[in-house]
Amino acid sequence: GAAWPAVAARDALIASVFRTRHGDDSHRARLRVEIGRLRRQLPDGVSLTSHADGYRLELSAESAVIVLEPPFDDAPDVVAALLADGAGWSSSALALALGISQRGVQRALAGLQAQGRVRASGQGRAQRWRAAPLTGFTTMLLLPGLLPDD
């Protein structure tokens, strides 16, 4: 989640950025490098300061912060959003991309399939999930027709 205006904990940043539960010295060094790069990109009036347990975004009096978060936090909706690209996803790839357990993804997919929002193809490890096609549109309405010869 977003930490602003509080200090973003170093361990939480390492876990989020490097997808590891336990950061070591190399992770902390890599985080310092990335924070340095980020500092160079910040506009005037905005600074990123180091604290004992993390980093904090600080603003001048005339600056404002807008925190952007996903429009939904429910697992089925997040899974459906990833499937909207039309590509086939395995449940393990969805779990990795979303940072949630594979079992949680499987429960979300089962619920979405019961609602008719997703469909599966293949079986076992080769199974892929896709968003269900739109209903109510015929292919002829979506494809350009042949023009008659004049």
pLDDT exceeds 90 at position 90: yes
The three-class DSSP label of residue 11 is helix
Residue 124, domain CATH: 1.10.10.10
What is the number of domains present in the chain?
Answer: 2
Answer yes or no: do 51 and 79 share one domain: no
- The tens digit of pLDDT for each residue in 2-18 reads 666 789 889 888 888 88
- The tens digit of pLDDT for each residue in 17-68 reads 887 878 888 999 999 999 999 999 988 888 899 999 999 988 887 777 776 6
Structural domain contains residue 3: no
Answer yes or no: do 31 and 79 share one domain: no
Structural domain contains residue 88: yes
Q: Which residue segment(s) compose the domain that 27 sits in?
A: 8-59
Answer yes or no: do 55 and 94 share one domain: no
Strand runs labelled E in the chain: 8-9, 46-51, 54-59, 118-121, 128-131
Answer yes or no: do 21 and 46 share one domain: yes
